[in-house]
């Protein structure tokens, strides 16, 4: 959880560069990557908190195992679901508000049962410890993209 919180601090530090863009690195600007990551944290948290542990269909996934172990997502292989894509014009205030909401969501995860889960479209059901790891790895992936954009 500490690593996830640190990435949110790093996002806040990158907020002044929210309009920076480098099409050689990504189609999205810095603000897009920050908001996308925050939307993922918020939506995954809601899913976890609304889950029933007895409904979890735990199934081993090599993809999840490797990615979470190595803490590395390959770039450009997946498209973000529409509900995790920022809509409209991005402002500095919007970026900061999404970071604030993501922080609240991350703190709410501390109240969840370890067997609560969310369903990832590729990795399947991830219970709380793996879900937190996923959120960190995903957010860190976007933090690295941001660093490459900013240079």
3-state secondary structure the chain: CHHHHHHHHHHHHHHHHCCCCCCCCCCCCHHHHHHHHHHHHHHHHHHHHCCCHHHCCCCCCHHHHHHHHHCCCCCCCCCCCHHHCCCCCCCHHHHHHHHHHHHHHHHHHHHCCCCCEEEECCCEEEEHHHHHHHHHHHHHHHHHHHHHHHC
CA angle 41–83–134, rounded 5-degree value? 30
pLDDT of residue 149: 98
Q: What is the pTM of this model?
A: 0.95
What structural domains and CATH numbers belong to the chain? 2-150 (1.20.120)
pLDDT at position 77 is: 78
Distance CA 9, CA 106 (A): 12
Query: Beta-carbon neighbour count of residue 8 at 10 Å?
Result: 21
Q: In this structure, what is the dihedral angle of CA atoms 68, 71, 72, 73, given to the nearest 10 degrees?
A: 40
pLDDT of residue 80: 86
Residues 91-132 have pLDDT tens digits of 999 999 999 999 999 999 999 999 999 999 999 999 999 999
As a whole number of angstroms, the distance between CA 106 and CA 104 comes to: 6
Low-confidence ranges of the chain (pLDDT < 50): none
């Amino acid at each position: 959880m500490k690593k996830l919180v640190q990435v949110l601090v790093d996002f806040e530090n990158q907020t002044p560069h929210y309009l920076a863009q480098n099409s050689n690195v990504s189609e999205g600007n810095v603000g897009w990557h920050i908001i996308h990551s925050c939307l993922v944290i918020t939506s995954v948290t809601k899913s976890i908190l609304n889950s029933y542990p007895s409904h979890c269909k735990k199934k081993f996934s090599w993809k999840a195992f490797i990615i979470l172990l190595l803490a590395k997502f390959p770039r450009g292989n997946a498209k973000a679901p529409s509900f995790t894509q920022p809509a409209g014009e991005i402002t500095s205030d919007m970026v900061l508000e999404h970071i604030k909401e993501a922080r609240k969501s991350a703190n709410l995860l501390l109240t969840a049962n370890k067997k609560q889960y969310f369903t990832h479209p590729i990795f399947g059901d991830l219970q709380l410890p793996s879900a937190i790891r996923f959120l960190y790895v995903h957010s860190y992936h976007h933090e690295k993209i941001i660093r490459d954009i900013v240079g």
